[in-house]
Structures are given as C-alpha cells and as structure tokens.
Structure 1
C-alpha cells in the first residue's frame, strides 16, 4: 500500500498554480508523473501524491521539473481566477475513478504518439545515413576503378618495352643449359651416394634421455580477510587496508598538547579502550571525553566516531550523534566483509537518532541498510517494522486532520 504525501505546498496566481512535492530521497529516474486537465499524480515508491484539481487546467501548457529533492509542477489555469483550494472535496469515488482512468488513457496515448514520432525520426535518420554511406561507397569505388585502369596502362607499356630484351636472355640461357648437361651426368652418381649415407646416419640417432624428477615449491599469499579472495573485491580490500594503516600512523594533535599528556594518553587505541570501559559503566561523559581526545589524535579511526555517536545518543545530543555516525560510515569505505559489523552498528545508531528527532523515513532507510548486511537479524526486523507502522499511521491520520 503506497504512503500518501501530505507535506506538499502550493501557491497560485490568476493564471498559474505552482505545486511543490518533496521527493524524500527518490532518484529522478524513479519519479513517475501523470497529469490531465482535471487530475495530477506523482508516484515515487513507496510514496504517492494524487490530486483531483479544483478547476480544469490547460495540460498542454503546463510543465513539470524534477531535481534537488523536489518536484515542481507549474499548472496553467483555463480561466483567470483564484482557486479556493487545490483539490476537489465534493467528488465521489466513482467520479474519481473515471477521472483517473481518463487521465491514464490520455497519458498512454501521449506516450504512444511520442514513441511513434521517435521511431519515425530514427527511421528518417537511418535512411539518410544509409544513402550517405552508399554515395560515399560509389565515389570510392569509382576512384579505385580509375586507379586500376591507370595501373593497367602503365604495366602494359612496361611489358611492351621489356619484351625484346627478354627474347635475347632466353637464347643465352638455352646455350648455357646445353653446356651444363654434359657435366651434370657425372655428378648424379655422387649425389645418390651422399643421400644414402645421410639416411643411414639418421637411423642411428637416439631420442634424448628423460628429465630427472624434481619438486616445485608453491607459496600462497597470506590473507588478511577471512573471506575467500575475489578479483572483483581486490581493489576495495586494498583501499580498506590502506586506510587502516593510515589511521594507525596519523596523529593530528598539536605538539604542545602532546607534551602535557601522559604516555598512555597519547595512544588513540588506549583512549578508545578507556572510553569503552566508561561506557559500559554508564559514565557517558567520561567516555565522550576519551573518544573526543582519541579523535583529536587520529581522525581516521571509524570505531571511535561510531562509539562517540552512541555516547551522544545516550546524552540526547541527537544532531551530533547523526554527524558522528555519518563520519564513521564515510570512513568505513569501501564496503568489505571486515567492516560489515561496524557499518551495521553505525547505521542503527544514526537511524535511532533520526527516529528520536521524529524523522522516521530517514531512520527507516538506515535500518533497512543494516538489514541488507544482516537480513536474518530479528531485532533489526522488529525495529524496522515498528518504524513502518509509525509512518503508515501518520500518513493515514493526515487526511483525517484535513
């Protein structure tokens, strides 16, 4: 069942009506807009915005623009007068059904005509392209034919000039052959003897000896990740390992502040462990301070940002919890098996902060992202279902309030 959009806004002049519909994170390619003179529909799953207009409009002169998270619909009025409201309220279900069906039929006819015009335009372009190619091929064939004719004429002239010298050369070769015949008969017997000796020598050749057996040493590259190696994931795994190595060696605190700290307090890993212990005891302020100092020393540790988000969530600092969770998710890229659990925790913490701020749609996105990582987690499934119930309840209550 689609969720009805109620947080839209509209303005009007004597000639135009402007309607702004928030897209709630939907991509431009997934927004479906259908309009007619009496009906308007904007569908981006799972949300639906449907209007049976108060007065007829000129649909051919109306426009729709989608971008920057909002759909802007500019409707041209048929009569220059101000509307009392955007939607009809006195229309019954049967009339609405007929208006909706007529709008869908007109939309299908419009799509069909656009498709036919595009097909005709493509056929015309293809015909022009084929004719142009055939013309170029005829010109190229004509050019090649001229080159062949010129080459034949040149070759014929050379043959005619070369014929007299060729006759003289043949006479000289015949005389030389007659002189060679007499000496050639004496060499035939010698050549036969040589070939017989070569055959005997070939029969005495032995095949090469077998190679000695041996062992080939094979070594395997050690794996850092527990999952099997896949070529499609090699680049992402290498980038993740590079970020982890960079996180362990980058220190961003000022030199003067480092001198005032103890040796163990200069270690971000020690500060993280201290923050974890304070968090387990319920001392969230001390844990927050430990995590903040660790972040000042090293801003590349995703776990510290995620844990500090949990502290902010406990202390009611919801905006800061969202900010730290988002920073942790940025550091947890690329997505590999080694950081799957950390990504799920960050999504849940950010989703919980969104829900505390009553931004249930954004919170549901984070819980669904965590479910993609752990689809069988019953706790995540239960929480996501509760949020869906809240969203659907709010959507159902909104028309009653109007």
Structure 2
C-alpha cells in the first residue's frame, strides 16, 4: 500500500499558486509528476500525493522543480481570482475517479496533438529540403543546358564562317580562271583574232623546187603554233612527322608507346616547378604542405574561393595527396558545387585505395616478421 502524503504548504496570488511538497529523498529520476487542469499527482514510491484543485489551471504553463527533498509547484490559474481553498470541497470517490479519467484523457489528447504537430513539422521540413534540392538541381541542369546551347551556337557560327570563307575562296578562284585563261587557249584566241595574210611568193632560187612542196610550209607552221607550250616544272615540299619513340615501327607496340609517353609527360608535369607559371611564386609557395595549411586557414575564415585556388595549386604540385582533394571537396560543398565535390571525393577515395593496396603487403610482412621472427 502506498503512503499518502497530506503535509504541504501553499500560497497564492490572483494569478499564481505556489505549492511546496516535502518528500524525503525525492529525485528527478524516480519521481513521477502528473499535472492536469483539475488534478495533480506525485508518485514517488512508497509515497503518493493526489490533489483535486479548487478551479482549473493552465497545465501547459505550470512548472515543477525537484530538489533538496522538496517539490516546488508553480501553478498558473486560468481565471485571476483568489481561491477559498486549494482542494475541491465535497469530493467523493466516484467524482475523484471521473476527474482522474478526464485528466488522463486530456493528457493523452494533448500528447497525440503534440506528436501530430511534430510529425507535420518534420514533413514540412523534409518537403522544404526536397524543394531546395530540386531547385539546386534545376539550376545546375539549366546551367548545363545553357552551356550546351552556347557551345552549339558557337559551333554553328564557326561552321557558317567556314562555309563563307570557302565560298569566297571559290568565287575568287572562278574570277581568276575567267581573267587568266590558259596559255595555249590565250595563244589560240590571239591568233584567231589576227587576220590571215596571204603567203608570199618564194624568191627564185638557184635550184627551183618542183611540184607543190613550198606550199605546205605555212600549214605545217600553223599546226606547230596551235600546240600549247609545255608546263613549267615545279616542286612540292613534303614534311614527315618524326617519330618520338626510338623503336623501329616493325618492332614497336603503338599502344604501349603512347601509354609510356603519356606517363612520362604526367610525371614531368607533376615534378616540374620550373614552368613559367611558377616563376613568380615564393619558395614556400611551391610546397604543397604549406599551400594546404594556407587553404585550411582560408576555409576557417569562410573565404572558400581563395581556399580552392590554394588547393588547386597544391594539387598541381603534387596530385598524390588525398587530403588536398578532400579539403577542396569541402570548399565546393560550401559553394554548392555538388558535382565538383563528388569528383574530388571520388578522386581522394581512389588514391587512398591505391595507397592501401600498395602498402598492405609491406604491413603483412612486418606482422609476420614480428610474430614468427622471419
């Protein structure tokens, strides 16, 4: 049987009631406090305290403070009037039961409403977040479509300009062909315009010819003049691209050679800091670790664009450090560049996997050496 507590003290103002309930050893963890509009209950085994209030209170604003073997209640009245007593007079068992059940039902309804309101607020937050993500994706998609459209327009303009140049060159060639006819045709036209002159009589010779041999001289000469002159000799210069790889073509593997050349170029680009773009850098600015620290400081001051520039230069100096890609991905995430953030994160993951695959055999060998004394 619980021990019912009947000792308490209380004070009131027109709007508030202050109730002090002494309970030895009471603590927040073990005490069960229930407050309704007309019913107040404290269950702290083996102690039990129940109070049926004189008038309704605002249970949403009312408070309870537990400590120092005492529970202090601050109850706010719904109507600012002074009460004649704290408890309701003339309450029998049936009325007490009805008040308890009513208070419990009201508390359950309020808890249900609070849960529903919380669920509605959560759904609203999710809907708002989804809408914002859709807006960001729509902006990215629109930006990509604009870039594609601009590239298409640019390619169309270049194609039209090339066609105009070709047409202009063709027109110039046609004009040149009309103004300068070939030499043989020009000679024929010139001779066609000249009036034919009658052949002169051959002077008497000491040995006169017989028959009509002298009459065939002019037609033969005319036939020789109609043949066009031979074209002038010319030369065409042909230059061949030299082979960079020294292996003979019949012995080489083209795919392996190209891959080797590509790897050599990447290695020279990664290790070289003597390019013109690095001339104006200080000595510490050519150190990837110094650039990483600089980018971290800029990120801490929310200067994300400058931090991205620092990480870009560090990556150009050494592209095998995964932390540089991770830091740059964080900057892109702050700048809402989601695709670039995904690319940098994937690159860092790939580098770390490669490093783990290369270092794992060494670690295994060290473990075996430690355990078996190899």
Q: Same fold (TM over 0.5)?
A: no
Q: As a proportion of its length, which structure holds more helix?
A: 1
Larger RCO of the pair (alpha carbons < 8 Å, separation 6+) = 1
Question: Larger Cα Rg: Structure 1 or Structure 2?
Answer: 2
| TM-score relative to the length of structure 2 | 0.36
User: What is the TM-score with the length of structure 1 in the denominator?
Assistant: 0.34
